[in-house]
Amino acid sequence: MINRLKRRKFGQLMFLSTLITMVSDRLKPAKAQQPTPEVSLPAQGAEVVLNINGTEHNLTIEPRVTILDVLRERIGLTGSKKGCNHGQCGACTVLVDGRRINSCLALAVQYEGAEITTIEGLASGEELHPVQTAFINNEGFQCGYCTSGQICSAVAMLDEVAAGDASIVTENIIDLDTPLELTDMEIRERMSGNLCRCGAYPGIVAAVKEVASSE
Ligand code: FES
Ligand code: FES
């Protein structure tokens, strides 16, 4: 009997304590609403106009974005390929003012005002560029992944030769008035920044020679 009275007493005390807690919570003053701070976001990118294959593109791009990513992800020109993304394979080669560069290493914001030419911009309408035709004639490719870079590189390389630029294997670098002889070794050296994992090098060299001999 005594135990039952103790249990009832204990239950009453617990109920009372819960009730007090609930009431005191209700009576607490509501937290003041904090005004939402005005957040000024950092600029999302720079406004640039890039001339790509003769067309001007108004773009807002972050300073860290490369020409290759602009071409492939923003413009939809996927001919230039991302092989290594480290300047080692040449699959991303494009022309900037006629000179070849690895577009994976070139920050796009730096090229406002330059003329960027990709593999898509080499042909004249339905007529292929002579280097494109020569690659087809000489089977200068297998899977084709490196080919757009190889062709852009070859186009600029032939201009370098025509301008008398020497390479590391050029024998006569004194008499620059004599036209450079484009030997196989010259072609291989000058195209050594463009790797082909299919090993289509004999066809690539033959294609470059074909164009050089027809000029
Ligand atoms: Fe640019 Fe390889 S993807 S050099
Ligand atoms: Fe396949 Fe060159 S053709 S990587």
CATH number at residue 161: 1.10.150.120
pTM higher than 0.95: no
Residues in the chain: 215
Q: Is 151 in the pocket of ligand 1 (CB under 6 A)?
A: no
Of the three residues 65, 97, 121, the one that is the final residue of a domain is 121
Shared domain check, 135 and 117: no
Q: And the tokens for 171?
A: 């024998």
Shared domain check, 137 and 117: no
Of the three residues 121, 145, 176, the one that is the final residue of a domain is 121
Shared domain check, 113 and 163: no
Evaluate whether residue 53 is within a structural domain: yes
Report the separation in Å between the CA atom of 209 and the middle of ligand 2, taken as the mean of its atom positions: 19
Shared domain check, 141 and 69: no
* Sign of the torsion angle spanned by Cα atoms 149, 154, 159, 161: positive
Considering only CA atoms, give the Rg of the chain. 34
**Ligand 1 atom having least distance to the Cα of 85:** 3
pLDDT for the residue 42: 47
Q: Is 84 in the pocket of ligand 1 (CB under 6 A)?
A: yes
* Closest ligand to Cα 195: 2
Shared domain check, 208 and 136: yes
Q: Which residue among 143, 153, 191 is best mutated to probe the pocket of ligand 2, counting the most ligand atoms within 8 A of its Cβ?
A: 143
CATH number reported for the structural domain that contains residue 80 in this entry:
3.10.20.30
Q: Is 119 in the pocket of ligand 1 (CB under 6 A)?
A: no
**Residue nearest ligand 1's atom 4 by CA:** 87
**Residue nearest ligand 2's atom 2 by CA:** 196
Evaluate whether residue 36 is within a structural domain: no
Shared domain check, 175 and 143: yes
Let me know: does 100 contact 157? Beta carbons within 8 Å.
Answer: yes
* Closest ligand to Cα 144: 2
Q: Which of 78, 81, 118, 74 is nearest to 96 (CA)?
A: 118
Shared domain check, 110 and 134: no
Evaluate whether residue 38 is within a structural domain: no
pLDDT tens digit at each of 215 positions of the chain: 445 545 556 556 555 555 555 544 554 544 445 555 455 544 578 999 999 999 999 999 999 999 999 999 999 999 999 999 999 999 999 999 999 999 999 999 999 999 999 999 999 999 999 999 999 999 999 999 999 999 999 999 999 999 989 899 998 777 767 778 899 999 999 999 999 999 999 999 999 999 999 87
Shared domain check, 89 and 155: no
pLDDT for the residue 180: 82
pLDDT for the residue 30: 47
Q: Are strands 55-61 and 46-52 parallel, antiparallel or unpaired?
A: antiparallel
Evaluate whether residue 30 is within a structural domain: no
Q: Which residue among 196, 201, 205 is best mutated to probe the pocket of ligand 2, counting the most ligand atoms within 8 A of its Cβ?
A: 196
Residue 207's contacts (CB-CB under 8 Å, 6 or more residues apart) are: 131, 134, 135, 137, 138, 140, 154
Shared domain check, 198 and 134: yes
Shared domain check, 154 and 92: no
* Closest ligand to Cα 89: 1
Of the three residues 72, 91, 121, the one that is the final residue of a domain is 121
* Closest ligand to Cα 86: 1
Q: Is 102 in the pocket of ligand 1 (CB under 6 A)?
A: yes
Q: Point out which residues pair with 49 in neighbouring strands.
A: 58
Total domains in the fold of the chain: 2
Shared domain check, 162 and 113: no
Q: Which helix (H) or strand (E) is 117 found in, with range?
A: strand 115-117
Shared domain check, 208 and 142: yes
**Ligand 2 atom having least distance to the Cα of 142:** 3
Domain that holds residue 208: 130-214
Evaluate whether residue 29 is within a structural domain: no
Evaluate whether residue 56 is within a structural domain: yes
Evaluate whether residue 106 is within a structural domain: yes
Evaluate whether residue 55 is within a structural domain: yes
